[in-house]
Structure formats: structure tokens, C-alpha cells
């Protein structure tokens, strides 16, 4: 049976439903009851800080979109302005509050935008390059959302093992259930765009993705690569890292590489994962609270010495 065409109206309707079904989660609706703050922060403190920071960086993500896509389209604007940003910023605020509840330091999101974004945006005033920029936006978004869902699935399982059911159900679950709708927007948008892109445009996307691909929240910086490597090890995702790469890169392999030679995921995805895990194993976490107490007096430690966490 032939696949139905993805239309602009279908994408618009999807975004509209997302906004209706999943309004931003009110902070007042969240149960922050923690059975054992010390165990939670020692086991998952670095994970909490990382996830909170990444969610709070949504404002930087919006600035990146505006930089690389001049004259952004109505569906894209509707998605990031009316649905995605309001939802994501609440995710960050909720996770950041949980950090404070268990005595972790607040998150420090980065709002820096690299020069490469502005260069691509300058070229994107030419319509064919703007399509390349848009495809980069959709692919990055799809990769990010898949990573988020898998991380939240692992986090939920870990919390329930600790008996932290209130946090699993009231904090993580409401956040996690909003992420698949975001992925669906990126997937549909990328599929619609890919159908009209020329071979040279796809070649350019391949080159740019291979050069610029980063795991969520790393921003191309070693310190964050070490931290996400620690997250992957904590969740056991390093034990079958190719399966993890397959989950994240399946869409990109199909749309951009046409599953060339049986490709299940682009090789640069696995390369970045292995790099992050190796950096973590060699150097440990970049940022981890050095001292914990129940009054929230956690002191961020910045050190080059290896800092290990239990897997």
C-alpha cells in the first residue's frame, strides 16, 4: 500500500493537536516527593543536571533556527514558537527544580551560538541552500528527540528500581510523553522536504551532517561529551551501542543516505557515541557536585581528574 503524501496541512494539524493535547506542564502539578535524596543524587545527580541543562537550552535552539533559516516557514514557526519552546522550557524548569529538591546545584544552560550557524544562515538566503538548512534542522531535531525518549525510558526504569515512583510518574513520565510528538513533526517535515530535494542538496546535507553532528547537549565541546558519555554508561546504553545508534539514526539513514549498502545508521552517529564514552572512561565527568547536603549547598566541581559514577 503506497504511503500517504505528507502535506503542509497534515503537519499543521499535527502541531495543532500537540498544542491541544499537551499544554506546558505547570510546575504546581508536579509531585517532587523523594524517598531518599542522597541515593538519588549520588546515582543520578549528573544525569539530572545534564537533562535539565539540555531542556533549558531550548531558547538557544530557537535562536539557532532563526540564524540558519531566514524567513522561517509558517509550520516551523507554529511548532517552535507556540508548542515546542513552551513545552521544553517547562521540562527544563521542572527538572531544574528537582535538582534543587535533592540538593544539586541549578543548571547553567549555554546560549552561545557558533559562527557556523550564521555562515549557513547567510548562504540560506538562496532558496536551495535554505532547503539544506531546513533539512539540517529537522534531522537534528529528530535525533535529539529520539535520544530524549531513550534517556527518559532508562531514567524511569532506574527511578523505579530505587522506589522513587513519585518522581518517575509525576516528573519524568509527563515530560517523556510529549517528546514523541516532537519527533513526529521532524520526521514528517523531513520526509516532505526530502521528496523535492535534488541530489546535490542531499550530498551537501551528508557532508554537513558528517562534519557537524553532535549528541544532544554536547554542543561540540569536550566537557559535555564527557558528561553524556557518563550518562550513556549510567544507563547501560554503551553495552550495545550499535543498537542505540540504530534507534537514533534510522530515519537519517533512510532519508539522507537511502540506506546505502544496507546502512542502518550514519557512521558519524556511532563515532560520536564511541568518542563520548571513551572520553568519559578516560577523564570522567566534567561537572559533578563535589559536596551534597539537604539544604541545597552542592558545590559544582570542575576538575580534569577522572570522576566516576556507578553504572
Q: What is the pLDDT of residues 126-163, one digit of tens each?
A: 999 999 999 999 999 999 999 999 999 999 999 999 99
User: Is residue 26 included in any domain, yes or no?
Assistant: no
User: Is residue 140 included in any domain, yes or no?
Assistant: yes
User: Is residue 12 included in any domain, yes or no?
Assistant: no
User: Is residue 51 included in any domain, yes or no?
Assistant: yes
Q: What is the pLDDT of residue 71?
A: 86
Supply 123's cell numbers: 548562504
Report the alpha-carbon distance of residue 253 to residue 258 in Å, rounded. 6
Report the alpha-carbon distance of residue 101 to residue 286 in Å, rounded. 22
Q: What is the pLDDT of residue 114?
A: 85
Q: What is the pTM of this model?
A: 0.90
Q: Give the pLDDT band (50/70/90) at residue 289.
A: low
CATH number, residue 154: 1.10.620
User: Is residue 204 included in any domain, yes or no?
Assistant: yes
Q: Give the pLDDT band (50/70/90) at residue 112.
A: confident
Distances (CA, A) of 291 to 42, 162, 188, 285, 299: 10, 21, 46, 15, 6
User: Is residue 264 included in any domain, yes or no?
Assistant: yes
Q: What is the pLDDT of residues 30-55, one digit of tens each?
A: 999 999 999 999 999 999 999 999 99
- Lowest average pLDDT, out of 40-44, 107-111, 306-310, goes to 306-310
For β-strands 287-289 and 300-302, DSSP reports them as: antiparallel
Q: Per the structure, how many domains does the chain have?
A: 1
Range of the domain at 200: 31-302
Q: What is the pLDDT of residues 166-200, one digit of tens each?
A: 999 999 999 999 999 999 999 999 999 999 999 99
User: Is residue 15 included in any domain, yes or no?
Assistant: no
User: Is residue 145 included in any domain, yes or no?
Assistant: yes
Amino acid at each position: 500500500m503506497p504511503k500517504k503524501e505528507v502535506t503542509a496541512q497534515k503537519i499543521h494539524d499535527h502541531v495543532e493537536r500537540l498544542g491541544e493535547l499537551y499544554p506546558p506542564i505547570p510546575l504546581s502539578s508536579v509531585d517532587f516527593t523523594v524517598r531518599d535524596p542522597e541515593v538519588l543524587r549520588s546515582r543520578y545527580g549528573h544525569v539530572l543536571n545534564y537533562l535539565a541543562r539540555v531542556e533549558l537550552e531550548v531558547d538557544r535552539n530557537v535562536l539557532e533556527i532563526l540564524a540558519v533559516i531566514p524567513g522561517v516557514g509558517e509550520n516551523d514557526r507554529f511548532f517552535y514558537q507556540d508548542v515546542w519552546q513552551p513545552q521544553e522550557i517547562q521540562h527544563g524548569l521542572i527538572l531544574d527544580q528537582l535538582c534543587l529538591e535533592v540538593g544539586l546545584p541549578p543548571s547553567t544552560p549555554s546560549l552561545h551560538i557558533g559562527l557556523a550557524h550564521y555562515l549557513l544562515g547567510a548562504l540560506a538566503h538562496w532558496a536551495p541552500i535554505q532547503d539544506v538548512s531546513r533539512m539540517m534542522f529537522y534531522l537534528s531535531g529528530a535525533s535529539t528527540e529520539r535520544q530524549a525518549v531513550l534517556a527518559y525510558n532508562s531514567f524511569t526504569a532506574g527511578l523505579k528500581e530505587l522506589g522513587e515512583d513519585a518522581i518517575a510518574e509525576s516528573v519524568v513520565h509527563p515530560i517523556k510523553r510529549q517528546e514523541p510528538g516532537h519527533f513526529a513533526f521532524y520526521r514528517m517535515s523531513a520526509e516532505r522536504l526530502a521528496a523535492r530535494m535534488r541530489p546535490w542538496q542531499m550530498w551537501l546535507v551528508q557532508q554537513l551532517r558528517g562534519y557537524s553532528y553532535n549528541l544532544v547537549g554536547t554542543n561540540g565541546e569536550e566537557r559535555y561529551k564527557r558528561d553524556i558519555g557518563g550518562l550513556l554508561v549510567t544507563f547501560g546504553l554503551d553495552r550495545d551501542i550499535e543498537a542505540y545508534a540504530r534507534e537514533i539514526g534510522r530515519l537519517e539513514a533512510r532519508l539522507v543516505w537511502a540506506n546505502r549498502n544496507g546502512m542502518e545508521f550514519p557512521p558519524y552517529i556511532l563515532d560520536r557515541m564511541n568518542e563520548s564514552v571513551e572520553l568519559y572512561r578516560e577523564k570522567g565527568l566534567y561537572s559533578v557536585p563535589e559536596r551534597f547536603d539537604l539544604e541545597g549547598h552542592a558545590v559544582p566541581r570542575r576538575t580534569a581528574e577522572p570522576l566516576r559514577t556507578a553504572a
